[in-house]
Structure 1
Amino acid sequence: MTGLGAVFRPQLAPERLRSVARLADEAGLEELWLWEDCFREGGISTAAAALAWTERIKVGIGLLPVPLRNVAVTAMEAATLHRMFPGRPVLAVGHGVQDWMGQVGARAESPVTLLREHLLALRALLSGQRVTTEGRYVKLDDVALDWPPAEPVPVIAGVTGPRSLRLAGEAADGTLLTASASPEVVRRARQLIDEGRESAGRADGERHQVVVYLLAATGPDAAARVRAELVAEGLESVPDLGVAGDAGAVAKAVQRLADAGADTVVLQPTGDEPDAEGFVRFVAEEVRPLVP
């Protein structure tokens, strides 16, 4: 079955999260994803609150920019969430927006090297290993978590470029793709991920989970809002991005991504979505029944 979720966008004030998260949980939505966009809302803090306010829904952080964090801190935060809310947090890490990283003095000369080192150390720490490493960016001396997660937890890489997609296959448990990923891009991403998995000898392991955001809107002005957002992102000329319409139209767009290789599709409202709670209800109650 294709997983389905929705995004709580950080254009909304943090105090709006409680009502959206509770509604998503009560409506039966599988996943609610949060963003750590500079300089709006923290990913770990909002995820912890959303998990505490809900009972069953998975809460994804998409994503934590690795230049901002020492990997030991990332591991401590992730492990704490998984110990308190087993099986419900979903953690994605990535390069971060390079201009934002530059604004805070954290831009790495080699983002791919940094992400590789971070992923390898993070997965080792979360599996309960004691880690010593002297990398270009990640340096740990005899570090182990006192409270690692009780069960294995996946670490997802939020990436886009070919080298980073291969790295996700080599060193991550899943991949998060942005709403700029059309079905064709998802197919190509799967190929690159598989190349990375094969090079690392991981091709026969568990399925590598691919999560894809899909820009979506419903209502009388849906098409205009989707187009305006694509124009603002410079993506208006890219085919097969975004969807506007009723539940049937949205479900068909979700299925196209699933057919291309997405395991979970997370519907991303426009930044000017007028009814965040209504959008979540639409996804859970109208779109979900139409997605196999």
Structure 2
Amino acid sequence: MRLGLTYVPTFPPERLREVAIGAEAAGLDELWVWEDCFEQSGIASAAAALAWTSTIPVGIGLLPAPLRNVALTAMELATLGRLFPGRLVAGVGHGVQSWMGQAGARVASPLTLLEEYATALRRLLGGDRVTVQGRYVTLDDVALGWAPSPPPPLMLGGVGPRSLTQAARLGDGNLLGTAMTEEEVRAACDAVRAARDGDPHPVVVSVIVATGPDAQERVDREVPHWGRAPGEGAAVAGDAATVAAAFRRLGDAGVTSVAVHPTRDEPDLAGLLRFLGREVRPLL
């Protein structure tokens, strides 16, 4: 199992540098940045994190398809893919529908949009010249001048049954949501396996984690921000053995990568990174 950190936009952009450098120094397998309306840009955050580090892969989880023209997304991902070969992981999804409405970008059929979007994006990143007239995606003889080789992995997000199936079919992996219980993660992984006829498929999940003497209190304060109640099992609090055991159970369910989501009141991000790298990772 791969172990990483999610840099959530509850922290300001100016703290990303220390976290990216710290995640790499701690020996974590990956760093994930988010594009949340109206907080931080996924592309800008990924570019900065990649430039500040040397080896750690950086994933974007995720870019909302309704908000971004597919040609622009392809251009940006291709540029990052060529600047930092082999280190970018792209993520695309429906976006939070209420935010899409606020931005005037909400569509009637998010599934149709993502189908057209992911198909066109993969072709563009693969170096194809694309002409398509879809319900939402329209391209007329578009090709990237500097397509990345190889193209970055394209992860797709979604948690509903149809979204899980679509992402398993179209993407190079599934991005699950945050604050999911172990039972919900297991059900999602089962749905992904069914959609893939049992073939292995990467599954990334973001897990709220806290350690230290006040760990439980902090996760209990955090989970309501994600629509969960304390005690539902949507976060992990405890020492390295407790955290690693929870992650191993997720691995048994089918998760291939856990991205640790710090609480918004995490008092020591550098310490959390060291804890994950030195104490948790050896137990996985």
Indicate the residue corresponding to 2:28 in structure 1: 29
Report the AA paired with residue 208 of structure 2.
Answer: L
2:224 corresponds to which residue? Answer: 231
Query: 2: distance between equivalents of 1:259 and 1:123?
Result: 30
Three-state SS of the structure 1 residue aligned to 2:89 is strand
Residue type of the alignment partner of 2:12:
A
Task: Please name the residue that 1:210 is paired with.
Answer: 203
Deviation at residue 237 of structure 1 after TM alignment: 6.5
Provide TM-score, normalisation by structure 2.
0.95
**1:196-245 per-position Cα deviation (integer Å, ceiling 9, x unaligned):** 335xxxx76xx321001111001111101111222333312674321101
- Structure 2 counterpart of 1:240, from 195, 214, 233: 233
Shift of 1:190: 2.5
Aligned partners of 2:179 and 2:25: how far apart in 1? 30
1:281 correspondence with 2:280: no
Equivalent residue, structure 2, for 1:221: 214
Aligned residue number for residue 165 of structure 2: 166
Within 5 A, what are the aligned runs for 1:1-292?
Answer: 2-198=1-197, 207-236=200-229, 239-291=232-284
8 Å CA contact retained: 1:179, 1:242: no
- Report the alpha carbon displacement of residue 184 of structure 1 after superposing the two structures with TM: 2.3
Q: CA deviation at 1:153?
A: 2.7
1:183 Cα offset (Å): 2.6
Shift of 1:290: 1.0
% of aligned pairs identical?
A: 56
| 1:192, distance to aligned residue in structure 2 (A) | 2.3
Q: Which amino acid aligns with 1:177?
A: L
CA contact (8 A) 1:166 1:194 kept: no
Structure 1 stretches lacking a partner, 5+ long: none
> Equivalents in 1 of 2:280, 2:189: separation in Å?
25
Q: Distance in 2 between matches of 1:234 and 1:153?
A: 32
Q: For 1:270 and 1:160, locate their aligned partners in 2 and report how far apart those are by CA, in whole Å.
A: 22
Cα separation, 1, equivalents of 2:4 and 2:127: 30
What is the deviation of 1:137?
A: 0.5
The amino acid of 2:153's aligned partner reads: P
**Corresponding pairs, count:** 284
Cα drift, residue 150 of structure 1: 1.1
- Separation in structure 1 between the aligned mates of residue 14 and residue 227 of structure 2, nearest angstrom: 31
- 2:81 and 2:151 in contact (8 A); partners too: no
Query: Secondary structure of 2:62's match?
Result: strand
Secondary structure at the counterpart of residue 66 of structure 2 = helix
Give 1:182 shift. 2.5
Q: Deviations over 1:40-80 (max 9, x none)?
A: 11110011011001010011111111111011111111111
Secondary structure in structure 2 of the residue aligned to 1:92 = strand
